């Protein structure tokens, strides 16, 4: 069994993974912090079962995504609140084309369903289809089909957000 100091050290080294997942699924900063804490708690609870069969980063992504998806389901049951932060940030964005394209892509990704968000995030992190499939419980062929659909969707969605 691995030690608590080792866990803390690894989390410190790879906390950006948790932040990425939180930003992908939650718009509100307070809720993002809650999700961050929930992911840390679930990672800590799962830590004794981590056996180095996979890389720590792969394991952490899996814990973070599973927690985020569960958290997202709980949040969906709450009354809907309209948060305009993303739209306001886009309106205040500089005229720089690359910044606008980045924001448009971010907004387009936010329009994806929870599983497709996880697929595209892992793809952007340069995980191969087989690893993405293992992390999300689907075949690599299913991941490939989803990626083609996601890419098509994102091309059109980015145009709408520009």
For residue 112, how many other CB atoms are within 10 A of its CB?
Answer: 20
Averaged pLDDT, 108-118: 91
Average pLDDT, the chain: 83
Task: For residue range 10-49, list pLDDT tens digits in order.
Answer: 999 999 999 999 988 888 899 999 999 999 999 999 999 8
d(CA 63, CA 54): 13
Contact indicator for 90, 103 with CB cutoff of 8 Å: yes
What count of Cα atoms within 13 Å lies in the side-chain half-sphere of residue 21? 31
Contact indicator for 140, 129 with CB cutoff of 8 Å: yes
Domains in the chain, start-ordered, CATH in brackets?
1-82 (1.10.1740.10), 84-162 (1.10.10.10)
For residue 51, how many other CB atoms are within 10 A of its CB?
Answer: 9
pLDDT at 6 > cutoff 70:
yes
Helix axes 4-25, 56-76, angle to 10 degrees: 50
* pLDDT for 73: 67
pLDDT band (50, 70, 90) for residue 105: confident
Task: For residue range 53-67, list pLDDT tens digits in order.
Answer: 888 999 999 999 989
């Amino acid at each position: 069994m691995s030690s608590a100091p080792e866990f803390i050290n690894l989390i410190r080294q790879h906390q950006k993974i948790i932040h990425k997942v939180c930003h992908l699924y939650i718009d509100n900063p307070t809720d993002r912090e809650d999700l961050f804490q929930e992911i840390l708690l679930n990672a800590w609870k799962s830590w004794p079962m981590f056996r180095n069969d996979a890389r720590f980063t792969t394991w952490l992504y899996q814990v973070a995504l599973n927690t985020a998806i569960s958290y997202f389901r709980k949040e969906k049951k709450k009354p809907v609140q309209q948060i305009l932060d993303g739209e306001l940030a886009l309106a205040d964005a500089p005229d720089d084309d690359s910044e606008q394209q980045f924001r448009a892509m971010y907004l387009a990704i936010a329009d994806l369903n929870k599983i497709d968000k996880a697929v595209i995030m892992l793809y952007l992190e340069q995980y191969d289809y087989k690893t993405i499939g293992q992390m999300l419980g689907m075949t690599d062929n299913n991941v490939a089909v989803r990626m083609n659909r996601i890419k098509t969707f994102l091309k059109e969605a980015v145009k709408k957000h520009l």
